[in-house]
Amino acid sequence: MKLAFSTLGVPGLPLSDVLRLATTYGYHGVELRADPEEPVHPGLDLAQRAEVAAEFKAAKVEVLGVAGYARVAAPGDDAPVIEEIRRLLDLARDLGAPFVRVFPGGTPEQSREEADATAARRLGTAAEYAADLGVRILLETHDSHRTGADAIRVLGPVGHRHVGALWDVMHTWLGGEQPAETYAALSPYLGYVQVKDIASADDTTPLRLGAGVLPLTECVDVLCRNGWDGWLCWEYEKRWYEAATPLPELLRAGHDHLARLLNDSA
C-alpha cells in the first residue's frame, strides 16, 4: 500500500513545504484540502494549476485526491451541489488527481430515504462528468452516513464505477461498525482509506497514530487479508484543533507506525 497525508494537518502551509515534508518522511502522496484558505483550491487558474502539477511531478509525490466539501445529501436544489462537484472534478483532472472527496451532509430534518435518494441522484448526475475526466468521486463515511452500511445505501443505487467510497476509520468506529463489516460493505467501491487516531469517542482531538483507541491494526489486517493494495492517508485534523501537536513533528513516527502495521499484516 502507498502512504499519504492530508494538508488538513498542515493548514495554510505553502506547497513547497508540504512536498518537502512528504519527501523527507517517505510519504508517496498528499491529499489536498480544497478550500480558499489553502494554496490549492478550485479558484486557481489554469496556469496556477499547471504549476502545482509540475511541483508535484518534480518532487515525485502524487496528488492522491482533492478533498472537497460538497454535501451531496443536503436539502436544497441539486444544481449548486452538482456545480460544486464539477469544479472539484475539473481541479482534480488538472492536477492529475484520481479522486475527489465529497461529504454526505444529510440533516435531521430529512428522512433517511430522502437523504439517500438525494445523494444518489446528485452523484449519479455527476458521475458521467467524472467519467469524461477520468476522476472518481468518493463519498466519505462521515456525518449522516458514517458507516459502510450507510454509504452503500447511496452507492448501490448509483451503480457507477466513477462513484465510490472513502473509508474514514474514525467515523465507522464511532458508528459502531467493525473493520471487517466496513470492508465487506465498501470493498466493491473503495477508493482509499483515511487513518487517524483519537483518545476516545468523547475526545476526538487528533493524536499520533497508535496512541489512541481507533482500530488501526484491525483495519490494516482486514485490508491486507483481502489483498487490497490502495492508499492509506493520514488525516490529522489539526485545522480544527489548534492545541494539537503540530503534524510535522509526528510524520516520521506516523509513517513508521503504518509501515510496521503493514509489515506485521503481510
Grid coordinates of 123 = 452523484
- Residue range 172-177: mean pLDDT, rounded: 98
Whether the CB-CB separation of 95 and 31 falls below 8 Å is answered with no
The pTM (predicted TM-score) of the whole model is: 0.98
Query: Which class does domain 2-265 fall in?
Result: alpha beta
Query: Where does residue 242 rank: exposed (0-12), middle (13-18), buried (19+ CB within 10 A)?
Result: exposed
Give pLDDT, residue 265.
Answer: 87
Residue 20 φ/ψ region, left for φ over 0, alpha for ψ in the -120 to 50 degree band, beta for the rest: alpha
Give pLDDT, residue 42.
Answer: 97
pLDDT tens by residue, 26-48? 999 999 999 999 999 999 999 99
Give pLDDT, residue 266.
Answer: 76
Long-range contacts of 238-244 (CB under 8 A, 24+ apart): 238/8, 238/9, 238/10, 238/11, 238/206, 239/8, 239/9, 239/11, 239/33, 241/205, 241/206, 243/205, 244/205, 244/206
Whether the CB-CB separation of 64 and 1 falls below 8 Å is answered with no
pLDDT tens by residue, 83-128? 999 999 999 999 999 999 999 999 999 999 999 999 999 999 999 9
Question: Residue 136's beta-bridge partner residues?
Answer: 99
- Residue range 179-196: mean pLDDT, rounded: 98
Give pLDDT, residue 16.
Answer: 97
Residue 159 binned pLDDT confidence (cut-offs 50, 70, 90): very high
Residue 2 binned pLDDT confidence (cut-offs 50, 70, 90): very high
pLDDT tens by residue, 66-86? 999 999 999 999 999 999 999
Between CA 93 and CA 100, with CA 96 as vertex, the angle to 5 degrees is 60
pLDDT for 263 beyond 90: yes
Determine the Cα–Cα distance for residues 237 and 205; give it in Å rounded to an integer.
8
Determine the Cα–Cα distance for residues 127 and 109; give it in Å rounded to an integer.
27
Q: Give the type of residue at 231.
A: W
Determine the Cα–Cα distance for residues 234 and 251; give it in Å rounded to an integer.
9
Whether the CB-CB separation of 62 and 40 falls below 8 Å is answered with no
The pLDDT mean for the chain works out to 97
Q: At which residue does the C-alpha cell 483519537 appear?
A: 198
Give pLDDT, residue 3.
Answer: 98
Dihedral sign from CA coordinates of 188, 183, 156, 189: negative
